[in-house]
Structure 1
């Protein structure tokens, strides 16, 4: 009995040490997506069904609710490795999780900022990445940039009027927002 308790205690200590080693400052679990990308400031629902992805989400929920989300190069790949995923992605936070009857998870994720994976490593059933946040580009607002910005805004508004599925609130955002990065990501 004492030996079993000792083994369990030792196992817990090893898991804690492993968790501390894994939790580097810029380490996140990878969530590879098929046929979709998430941008900063966007909120999307994602169905997570592969074991690799479920373990990544579970790890994120235990730690800081944050994932590195990136698109797969080939959506037919069922068990992606580091070579199957783009190195550019989005540092995203999990806003909501719901377990579905079939064991899959439905999460609501919000893109926080663009990021680049610097290294990949296999961790206890999921892929982790060491990443670097990518800064936004602050263009010098010249007369030429302002003219291009106005033209893009006008073109989007024309497109939205012709497309019944374009959200009306987004049209107002495009009309009133001066932050180019925000609109670009929307």
Structure 2
């Protein structure tokens, strides 16, 4: 159980720029988010993709049918209200969000590998990175939730759509459902 609002968790997962600060030691070295590109949202999804340079370390054991370009790309997407996922050439990660209250959400998560013969060491390394990343996010989101409850909190403007495009898409999704 995470002590955060499910909308905050979705926003966190879907805006790539937090990786360089929250996940500086875990994800940022292999997924530099300055390379993210927002793709146009559909009625029930939104996301972004990254195309990484060849000089980054290999991120895992890729499926043999992938081209080099496909190996150097990852896609993060959301299918609100409950699913967020990341897909790359070597694995898929996902979160299934179950809101329990305004300030708590049950998070089920998983990781699937493209290589059915993944070594124990590679499997352990990828799962460990995923778990450390989830711990970092959970810590930050619990702090955010406490801050959101402050009576001193003042709202501010969203960043421009070209910077937080997925957050804009998410808010448009919510508006369509509420209004």
The verdict on a shared fold, with TM-score over 0.5 as the criterion, is no
Instruction: Write 1 or 2 for the structure with the bigger share of strand.
Output: 1
TM-score normalised to structure 1 length? 0.28
User: Which protein is bigger by CA-based radius of gyration?
Assistant: 1
RCO higher in 1 or 2 (8 Å CA, sep ≥ 6)? 2
